[in-house]
Structure 1
Amino acid sequence: GGMNGMFAKLSITELRSTQQVCGSQCSTFGCYKGSTETALNFADALPNEGQASKGCPLYSHPAQLQDNRDCMLCMDCLKTCPNRSGQLNLRFPASDLLDDHHGFWAEVALLLLLFGGVFMHHSQTILGWLGWENVPVDADHFLTSLPITLALLSIPAILTYFTHAIARFFDSEQPDYLTIIYAYLPFVLAANLAHYIPSFITEAGQILPVLARSLGYSGTGLPTLTWSLDVAQFLQGVTLLSAMVFSPYPLLRITKQSDEATGIQRLMSNLPHLLFMAGLTVLLFKLMI
């Protein structure tokens, strides 16, 4: 749930309601408390409006949501609202991060853990670069595996913190680390997706035989679909490049301190982060492709 809520901040959709309508016309509060079926008093009411509901699973009011983290997009509030206040809107990607967003340590820890997990998945490749390809990382060698695992999981935290320290050295008006780290959220999502693309490409086409075997049948003769490894690598490359394309804009918006600074000035103050993002893209390419 925490992972889905965090990545939902990058979504192009949002579910919100109008505070004025909720405050002046609503008397049931069924969207988050739950209510029985509500009679509607307008002529063009639809049969799926004003339904009975148990309320929001996260006990959140759509008029008070600050971001997508506390919304499961279950649509219960839309179905139960008798005033048509709730709306499903399209928006600019990552809008939650662009204006007055403040992170908190638990979510940042999850972000860095998911990012570090990508390096952990490719531990043998990284150890091979260091000349330690024969060092096992498994439960049978716990004492040697533990420090290696902690070091691999710490790579994103150490590198991003060091990069931000350099950026703040040249520009003291940079926001704090808990705020700036969200600029790397597209990278975390892209890196995790890119890691699982080969498995998806090679196994998704086997869904019918696997389903048949799960139900006790042989699955012989059922159609399958396979792609070459080149297709998987191409999709991995596109996914990683998309992170490099989409991450600078949230970075520049998050670090925007005043309207007086020109675009060139903001680029220069964020140069350490931009260079690190470029280097990170190259590193992930070498790890995965």
Structure 2
Amino acid sequence: GGPAKGEGQATGGCPVYSHPAQLTDNRNCVLCMTCLKACPHRSVEFNLRPPGIELWTTHQPMGHEVALLFLLWGAVLVHRLPEIAERLQLPQLLARFDYHALATVVLLAAPGGVAWGLYQLNRLGNPCLQGRPFVQVAYGWLPMVLLSSLAHYLTLGLTEAGRIIPVTLATFGLATAGPIWVAHPAVIAFLQAVSLLLGALLSILLIQRIAQQPWLRLLPLHGMTVGMTVCLYQLIV
């Protein structure tokens, strides 16, 4: 496209070297809108569609994306390691480096390991069941991962982030006071609970939609979702 085609702006081309006509999903799109600026055909359209519809239609699952998904979920547990050590009455998990490192590795691997184990047990219990592969079904936990991460960071976002102006001014010695916006702890707890419950609900529905199996067949996977929700609720809220 561009002026050479009679319409459109001159651009440097797609920064990720993709062509709109060859894209099957937006996995590598950075939303720079360069293709929109250069388009000479007036073919830009605005279409509404259900969020995440490609997950059960045209999406091609990738193993490294699933691994990252479960690592991010495990990272939420790692961030809550002090609370876990306190509840288990194991202070050595934080006092000694070797115990701390081992606990971190276990927590990072726990969500993916448990999910894969339950999926395999479900297949063994239903040998005639022809379901979708684990690497595809695992995308169903994406809402839970995103919203549990949000629930964890809400405390920082609604407390420390509200002090960024006075802290920044004090850093440069310009002032010792400034506007502070801090949410009430009850409000933060409510938003965290809503985030976790919404993530669990969306994950259950998405797993059901991707797997396309009866509810009872997927009960172990849904049970893991509910179990992780309860666990994270106890640790975060």
Verify: 1:146 aligned to 2:104, yes or no: no
> Among 160, 166, 178, which residue is 1:203 paired with?
160
Structure 1 match to 2:39: 81
SS in 2 for 1:84: coil
Quick check: 2:136–2:210 contact (8 Å CA) kept in 1?
yes
- Alignment partners' CA distance in 2, 1:170 and 1:65: 39
Structure 2 match to 1:261: none
> Among 120, 128, 135, which residue is 2:86 paired with?
128
Verify: 1:39 aligned to 2:6, yes or no: yes
- Alignment partners' CA distance in 2, 1:255 and 1:53: 42
TM-superposed deviation, 1:114: 0.7
> Among 244, 250, 261, which residue is 2:200 paired with?
244
Provide closer, same or farther for how the CA distance between residues 151 and 227 of structure 1 changes in structure 2, counting only shifts above 3 A. Answer: same
Greater share of helix: 2
- Alignment partners' CA distance in 1, 2:109 and 2:196: 21
- Alignment partners' CA distance in 2, 1:170 and 1:100: 29
Verify: 1:68 aligned to 2:34, yes or no: no
Structure 2 match to 1:269: 217
Letter in 1 for 2:39: C
Verify: 1:212 aligned to 2:160, yes or no: no
Quick check: 2:9–2:37 contact (8 Å CA) kept in 1?
yes
- Alignment partners' CA distance in 2, 1:288 and 1:88: 39
Stretch moving more, 203-212 or 183-192: 203-212
Letter in 1 for 2:101: L
- Alignment partners' CA distance in 2, 1:209 and 1:85: 48
- Alignment partners' CA distance in 1, 2:3 and 2:99: 59
SS in 2 for 1:135: helix
Structure 1 match to 2:131: 174
Provide closer, same or farther for how the CA distance between residues 209 and 88 of structure 1 changes in structure 2, counting only shifts above 3 A. Answer: farther
Quick check: 1:208–1:219 contact (8 Å CA) kept in 2?
no
Query: 4+ residue runs of structure 1 moved beyond 6 angstroms?
Result: none
- Alignment partners' CA distance in 2, 1:254 and 1:248: 10
Letter in 2 for 1:59: Y
Provide closer, same or farther for how the CA distance between residues 279 and 271 of structure 1 changes in structure 2, counting only shifts above 3 A. Answer: same
- Alignment partners' CA distance in 2, 1:166 and 1:238: 31
Provide closer, same or farther for how the CA distance between residues 221 and 120 of structure 1 changes in structure 2, counting only shifts above 3 A. Answer: closer
TM-superposed deviation, 1:88: 4.3
> Among 140, 147, 155, which residue is 1:190 paired with?
147
Quick check: 2:208–2:215 contact (8 Å CA) kept in 1?
yes
Structure 1 gaps of 5+ residues are 1-27, 29-34, 41-49, 257-264
